[in-house]
Amino acid sequence: MRGFRNNRAWRVVASTVTASALLGLAACGNSGPSTTSSAQGLTMWALNDQTILKESVDAYNKDHPDAKITLRLFANDDYKQKLRVAFGANQAPDVFFSWGGGALDDYVKAGKVDPLTDSQVNLLRYTPSVMRSATFDGKAYGVPANGLAPVVLYYNKKVLAAAGVEPPKTYAELMTVVKKLKAEDVVPISLAANSKWPTLMYTEYLLDRTGGSGVFSKIASGDASAWKDPAVTKANQYLQDLSKAGAFGDNASSVSYDQGASTALVYTGKAAMEVMGTWEYANFVKAAPDFAKTDLGYTVFPTLPGGTGDPDSIVGNPSNFLSLNSASTHKTEALEYLKDYVLDDSQVDAYLAAGSVPPVNGLESKLTASKSSDQPWLRFVYDLVQKAPGFQLSWDQALPSDQADPLLTNVDKSFLRQITPGQFGENMSRAAR
């Protein structure tokens, strides 16, 4: 989650991607095959933390030694810009990794992505709620490539116990815990604010808890005025109150997610909590296995008493997806890879072994029978998704690409209290027109 971001993760549209670049993408259409296509095999792009996904490529290559997939891996924060530039220059890979939502829909509307059918790639294997993030006008344009990734609250059990506090269940409790942790000279919440998208997670949850899922649904449908809903202002006020209270310490804006610093703050005991996608669990296990076994705790994001949102609703990334470039000259090979190698039985077992729940149907028996030390975590994630009445795709993925950068910029400004809570909605309303 990291990418799923075992990925997240996940997710920045660079400010250098201009409107002209977007127009260039649409103008290119299907004028010719991708120049990155190999004469002998597929080309594929993904994030550099997708180690299990890479194993599916290795398996395919073992079975196809004369026409292997050429896989390129990228850092999370660079990936979106590189992919957009490649599509604009007609040099995109045959198969590419995405988060679904508005960014993928941009490529679909530009005629850059082929729709997929169940007969081609066994779509009915996948969790329906997850497939919605890659489905447009009734057609699917990607297959899930990794685990479910709702955003949860992680905590260091030892640090909380030393401060005499329990994991917060409500926003009011969270503010109390922040105060007590500060008194112990501990950063209450680790936040990689330099990457911006981790801060967005707070805005997403706070809005959903405050105003319910309907507010963002209006925004995502293209209603620019919905950014001015009072719940948007209130959510930003909650975020600013946390920031003002010192919840994120003094150096959050210098911390970048891709370097693993925010993760390390928690397992080294310098910070008590972190709000992050479920991919972070695997990062904890890899970097600090002893900590993960004994001192890592996890729970749902705190509720907001008085809010109209359902406290069981979640936000995050239902999954990441692999899609087929419509200009590919290797579509038969690509469809074989997507059908027979992505989230096959060995991949499902590998994700479960890594502490990630893949979005495929019929996993109940596997979860029940699991003897893994990760079994409580797997069941927690599975149950969290199963009972959630709503699973909101991260906003920077759900919205069109031309709104994602203004969104992240204004979330950062709100976090830094450089704009008022009301100005956040005003700025986003203008950006969405």
pLDDT tens series, the chain, 433 aa = 344 443 333 333 333 233 333 333 433 333 333 334 445 789 999 999 899 999 999 999 999 999 999 999 999 878 989 999 999 999 999 999 998 988 899 899 999 999 999 999 999 999 888 888 899 999 999 999 999 999 999 999 999 999 999 999 999 999 999 999 999 999 999 999 999 999 999 999 999 999 999 999 899 889 999 999 999 999 999 999 999 999 999 999 999 998 899 999 999 999 999 999 998 998 999 999 999 999 999 999 999 988 999 999 999 988 999 999 999 999 999 999 999 999 999 999 999 888 889 999 888 888 988 888 899 999 999 889 888 888 899 998 889 878 989 999 999 999 999 999 999 999 999 999 9
The identity of residue 298, as a single letter, is Y
**What pLDDT is attached to residue 39?**
55
Cβ neighbours for 282, distance < 8 A, ≥ 6 positions apart: 6, 354, 355, 356
Dihedral of alpha carbons 397, 398, 401, 403, sign: negative
Task: Return the HEC string of 69-122.
Answer: CEEEEECHHHHHHHHHHHHHCCCCCCEEEECCHHHHHHHHHCCCECCECHHHHC
**Tokens standing for 110?**
């530009």
Phi-psi domain of 243 (left: phi exceeds 0; alpha: psi -120 through 50; beta: other) = alpha
Domain 19-148+318-361 has CATH 3.40.190.10: yes
**What pLDDT is attached to residue 389?**
84
Among the four given CATH numbers 3.40.190.10, 3.30.1490.20, 1.20.140.10, 2.60.120.200, the one describing domain 151-315+397-431: 3.40.190.10
> Which of 206-233 are b and which e, b meaning 16 or more Cβ less than 10 Å from the residue's Cβ?
bbbbbbbbebbeebbeeeeebbebebbb
Distance CA 223, CA 237 (A): 22
Distance CA 321, CA 252 (A): 30
Phi-psi domain of 343 (left: phi exceeds 0; alpha: psi -120 through 50; beta: other) = left
Closest by Cα among 394, 319, 392, 406 to 13: 406
Cα maximum dimension of the chain: 64
Closest by Cα among 3, 1, 72 to 37: 72
**What pLDDT is attached to residue 221?**
85
Helix (H) or strand (E) holding 66: none
* Burial class of residue 329 (count of CB atoms within 10 Å of its CB; 0-12, 13-18, 19+): middle
**What pLDDT is attached to residue 24?**
37
The model carries a pTM of: 0.77
Q: What residues does CATH 3.40.190.10 cover in the chain?
A: 19-148+318-361, 151-315+397-431
> Cα separations (Å) of 308 from 150, 221, 390?
20, 20, 13
Q: At residue 47, what are phi and psi to the nearest 5 degrees?
A: -85, 150
- Give ∠ CA 116-119-120 in degrees, rounded to 5: 50
**What pLDDT is attached to residue 130?**
85
Alpha carbon dihedral 202, 176, 178, 161, in 10-degree steps, equals -120
